[in-house]
Each structure stands twice: as C-alpha cells, then as structure tokens.
Structure 1
C-alpha cells in the first residue's frame, strides 16, 4: 500500500470521526428542549429508565447482528469497571442533568445545553487529574472564560438576583455533575481497547441499567417518585420516540464511534454544537434566548475553540522540540 493510499484512508477515517461527533451533538442538542415538556409529565428517573431500556435494546440487537452470539463475552475486559462507567455515564448523566433541568423550569433546556459545552474544559481538568500534571495557565484562563459565559446564560445576566434564588445553585450543580459524569464515561471508553465502540456502548448501557432501574425502583418504593401510569406513558410516548431510538441509540453510538476515532480530547470539543442546536429548537418552541444569553454562549464557545487551537499549537511545539533533541 503506497503512502497516498494510506493518507487517503487516514483522511477518510478522520472525517468519519468528525461527521459522527457532529451528528451526535446535533441530536443531543435537540433533546433538551424536548425534555422540557416531558419533565412536566414524568420524573427524570423514570424517564431515564425507559429511555435507556429502549436504546439498550437497539444496541443489543445491532451488536448480536454484527458480532454474533459471542459478542457479550468480556474478552479480557473488566466488567466491574464497565458497570461503574455505565452507571456514571447513563444513570449519572440522565438523572442529574434532567433533574437539574426540571428544577430550572422553562429555561432549563438552555442552561443544561450550555453546560454541556463546558465538557471540553472538564475533560482538560479530568485529564490533568488522571495524569497528575497541572494544565497550562492559558488553558486555565480559557476555563474561567467558558464558565463566565455559562454564568451569563443561567443567570440571564442578572447575577445578583440569581444569588438570592437557591434553586439556581441546586439546578446548576446537578447539571454540572451530570455533565462531568458524561466526560468520565467518554474518557473511559479509551480503556476498553478489546471492545468495538458498539460493544462498549452496549455493555455499559445494560450494566448501567441495573443501577438506573434499581435507583428508580427504590425511589418508587419510598414514594419519592410515582410509578408511571398508562396515561402518563401515552403522553410521553412521542418524547420517548426521540429520546430512545434517536438521542439515545443513534446519538450515543455516533458519539462513541467518533470519539474512538478522534480521541476524547478532540471529540468533546463538538459539545459546543449542543447549545447551538438547543437554542435554535427552543426558539422554535417559543423560548427565545435573551441577548445576554447568546453573548454568554458565544463566549463559552470561543473559549473552547481558542483553547483547542492553543493546545494543538503547544503539542506541535513540544513535538518539534523533541525531534530537534533526538
């Protein structure tokens, strides 16, 4: 195989990763406005259970079709760690983010979506923690700028009023915690080198479902939430059709596939697409972002892009310096 052919295949693989991450984040962005209405009918824990039961069934059918009856074997990977990551990624993300969105009310979709865009910065901090190396100072500055943008969105530019409303703290803290859960899950996928992206997604979904359903049943047993009725299921059926097969099955599969190709640090950058989609869909449903919220989203997005450019240039300088030394 000649160099041109190898370069062509590498380029095609790269753009496949870009397309996968882009499709995933567009589909994810639309889910927050859709959840605004769904959360007026059902609690986030029950919805998360139903959503991932639907998506997990799709993953399982596709995995068996592609990889055969032996596909559910561990193949040397750790099932306890897969369970932990599935619980963090699916139970943690779905429960915390949507509970926070529910507490935030009609503006919750915009708040949740812009916080998803901070995941590249969270990824930077998680990566630094795992490797036990401090992030460079310019990156820390971009982290600060991104969170300033987030604060403008969630407070609508009125920070003093927000400080006197405790629900802002609770809702925002839950959404941030949920977003962090998804970062940990995404980074965890790189550990399972023996599993295909589809197998990682399927195994972690079903292992995580034991936690999701377990928590849901416990909350129902202590009457913290109500068991869904037939009428409730009928009302939320359209929401589940989007959140299960589309935002659950298709989006997550694209997301894991894209991140496996591009790497988590590059993949999470696409989370900047989420608030753009959410803002557009929210506007179409009658929830118009305030000008200061658009400024905040732009500020966050700019910080993410500038930090990515900086890190790439820094990596090239380090590589060039190492080559000269050798």
Structure 2
C-alpha cells in the first residue's frame, strides 16, 4: 500500500476516534463525573505508555524526565489542565459545540505565537480566523436565539463554552511546550506528560469527592460505563495518538491538519445517530468554522509551495 494511502487511513482513524469521544464522554457523565473519567482515562494510559517507554528505553529516561521542570509544566497545565476544563465544560454545553471550540486550536496557536513571539499571522489567516470564530459564536448562540429564550440556559451554555475555550488554550500550551522538548520522542513526551498529569488529576478528583460532587457509577451502570471508559482511554488516547503520529509522518503536518478540521463532522454524525436534534444554526456555524479552517490550510499550503 502506498505511504500516502496509509497516512490517510491512519489520520482518518484518529479523526474518527477524537470526533466520537465527546459524545461518548457525555453519555458516560450520566453515571460518572468528569474528574473520574479523566482519572481513569489518563491513569490507564499512563500505565500503558510508561510501561512501553521503560520496555523500550529502560528506567533512566523515566528518571530523567521526572527531574525536568518543563515536563511537569507541560503535563500539569497542558495535559491535566486541558482535559479537566474540557470535560467539565461538556457538563454545561453540547458535545458538538465543544468539538467546534477544539477545532479552533490552530487559530488559538496562531494568536498565542502572535502575542508571545510577535509572529503576526498573514492577512488571509486573520480573515479566516474571524470567520471561524464568527461561525463558532453563531453555533453557540443558535443564531442569537439563546439570548432571547432563557437567561439560565444562555448562562450555562456560555459557561460550558468558556471552560472548553480555556481547556483548548491549555492544550495550545501543551503543543507549544512539547515542541520545545526536541530531545524527546513522541512516545516519551506522551508518556511523561500523561504521568506528570496524574497528581493534579488525583487532587481534583479527591477535591470533588470531598465536596460531594464526584459521581461514582452504581453496579448496574458499570456495563454501560465500562465500554465508554475503555474507548476514551484505549481508543481516544492511545490508539488515536499512535495513528495520528504514524499518519502525520506519512502525510505531512499540513495534510494531517487538513483532515483534522473535519473532526466536527464526525461529532455531528455521532450525535445525529444518538438521536440528538441538530439545529440549522449549529450546522451553519459548523460549516463556517470548517470552511474557514480548510481555506486557511489551503492558503498555507500555497504559501509553502510558492516559497519552495
């Protein structure tokens, strides 16, 4: 099989897994709270990833990573912070809105680089960013109807969206921070950041438990919850990241990110299959977001070819 075809297959599997994880997580939250989901999700992933890392490289690399402050910052803020905020946000907003926010991470990264490194995006990129954020606002507010029908619902929706935005910003921090760990392989970075995320995830779960907010599944609910937790851990974290890395190597970053922009489509399809009523304003807003992101990706591709 041609490497490009393999790359498309790997990236498509990753996009499908990530697109499905928010609806699956939302279903699990009927029986278990977001802090418990994250604790299980990254606890299991840490065991598998760190075990693979030690098996491949021995314990010396593990000890070296645990002494590196950058690993702790990226793992705590980027990995633990992003997952905590994102999954908490899903409790207050809709999965299809959460995935639209996440799809704007490339735009958030461009803004962060502009602020931090004075790297101003091109005019076309700025226009695409404005259209994408406008599409998100249109979907979140249901074309403005949310503000005219019930202040409580609007406040809850905006709270959830805000939490997901901060979670996405934390993941941008993870992306920028992990890019500086050039001496570490993708497996090592993923394993070490999952491991260093655990103290904060444990602390948040214990705090939630002490305040009476933690929701522990009943014995009757475990058959329903277990497959969702297994998907979020084994497929959403381990398999998806493995497929993404393999696909990116074969396709290149720009091509892989182009396919990633269609992740909201997967989420919308899953939600429709679950019987959720998708509003026209949400579909229009999502279409604007996807179109703007794809247009910017094609512009960047043209710029790279022009420079070459």
- The CA distance in 2 between the partners of 1:72 and 1:32, in whole Å, is 31
In structure 2, list runs of 5 or more residues that go unmatched: none
> Which of 269, 279, 286 pairs up with 1:297?
286
- The CA distance in 2 between the partners of 1:253 and 1:183, in whole Å, is 19
> Which of 264, 284, 289 pairs up with 2:273?
284
State the 1:263 CA deviation.
Answer: 7.2
Judged with a 3 Å threshold, the aligned counterparts in structure 2 of structure 1 residues 17 and 132 are, in CA distance, closer, same or farther, namely farther
- The CA distance in 2 between the partners of 1:195 and 1:19, in whole Å, is 26
> Which of 41, 48, 66 pairs up with 2:38?
48
Aligned residues: 303
State the 1:69 CA deviation.
Answer: 4.2
- The CA distance in 2 between the partners of 1:212 and 1:44, in whole Å, is 10
For the residue of structure 2 that corresponds to 1:103, the secondary structure is: coil
Residue 115 of structure 1 is matched in structure 2 by 101
- The CA distance in 1 between the partners of 2:280 and 2:33, in whole Å, is 31
1:49–1:216 CA contact under 8 A, matched in 2: yes
Residue 160 of structure 1 is matched in structure 2 by 147
State the 1:178 CA deviation.
Answer: 1.2
> Which of 299, 304, 307 pairs up with 2:296?
307
In structure 1, list runs of 5 or more residues that go unmatched: 1-10, 321-326
> Which of 214, 219, 229 pairs up with 2:208?
219
State the 1:227 CA deviation.
Answer: 6.2
> Which of 116, 127, 136 pairs up with 1:150?
136
Judged with a 3 Å threshold, the aligned counterparts in structure 2 of structure 1 residues 254 and 93 are, in CA distance, closer, same or farther, namely farther
TM-score by length of 1: 0.82
State the 1:256 CA deviation.
Answer: 4.9
1:155–1:162 CA contact under 8 A, matched in 2: no
TM-score by length of 2: 0.87
State the 1:215 CA deviation.
Answer: 2.0
> Which of 112, 135, 143 pairs up with 1:126?
112
1:26–1:273 CA contact under 8 A, matched in 2: no
Which 10-residue stretch deviates more, 43-52 or 262-271?
A: 262-271
Residue 103 of structure 1 is matched in structure 2 by 92
- The CA distance in 1 between the partners of 2:61 and 2:13, in whole Å, is 26
Residue 162 of structure 2 is matched in structure 1 by 173
State the 1:46 CA deviation.
Answer: 1.6
Matched, 1:57 2:47: yes
Judged with a 3 Å threshold, the aligned counterparts in structure 2 of structure 1 residues 225 and 142 are, in CA distance, closer, same or farther, namely same
